[in-house]
Amino acid sequence: MPRAKKFKESIWCNITLNSRKLLVGLVYCSPSSDTVNDDFLLRMLEEAIVQGDTRHVLIIGDFNYPDIDYVNETVTAGEGASSTKFFNKTHELCLVQHVNESTRIRQGQQASILDYIFTDDGNLVEQVNYMLPMGKSDHIVLDWNVTLMAKELTSN
């Protein structure tokens, strides 16, 4: 597990199914996060990916980077901005981002994708569902399937 103690808000766990391992990280990056904390987030992501044992990685959460558009592969912030650094780091680590529709909708504001589902394998997550918010939240609920193992097909 990454030593996430320097980044302010995350929780990590390892899940083992038969011999398959999945590292799951849940991350909240506050809109008021400072540059130091944002840099800790980048280091934490790198640690999660480059740890040596064989496993998959699933990183989910509210990252609060409205400047990033993973669908069109663009960032509207400047080169030194935290959102640009984050976007570049996720690409450098070959993370696949699976959320393609707005996840935060507030009346009077532009809808945006602030919540992400990252994996190290594009086939790990399938069928992302976008559901109604819970309670008074302005974030929609995401539901998805994770496939760690597939039944091997045999021909008769």
* 31 has a pLDDT exceeding 60: yes
Residue 2 resides in a domain: no
pLDDT at 29 over 90: yes
Domains: count for the chain: 1
Q: What is the pLDDT of residue 105?
A: 77
Q: What is the CATH number of the domain that holds 33?
A: 3.60.10.10
| 138 belongs to a structural domain | yes
* In a domain? residue 5: no
Q: What is the pLDDT of residues 33-84, one digit of tens each?
A: 999 999 999 999 999 888 766 689 999 999 999 999 999 999 999 899 999 9
Report the b/e string of 52-69 with b at 16+ CB within 10 A.
Answer: eeeebbbbbbbbbbbbbe
Distance CA 151, CA 97 (A): 25
Q: For residue 142, tell me if it sits in a domain.
A: yes
Q: Is residue 46 part of a domain?
A: yes
CA dist., res. 75 & res. 86, Å (int): 10
pTM over 0.75, yes/no: yes
* Structure-model confidence comparison of residues 149 and 64, the more confident one: 64
pLDDT at 90: 97
User: pLDDT tier at 4 (50, 70, 90 boundaries)?
Assistant: very low
> Which domain covers residue 37, as residue numbers?
10-146
- pLDDT reported for residue 94: 95
pLDDT tens-place string over residues 95-136: 999 999 888 877 777 778 889 999 999 999 988 998 988 888
Cβ atoms within 10 A of the Cβ of 139, count? 15
Domain contains 63: yes
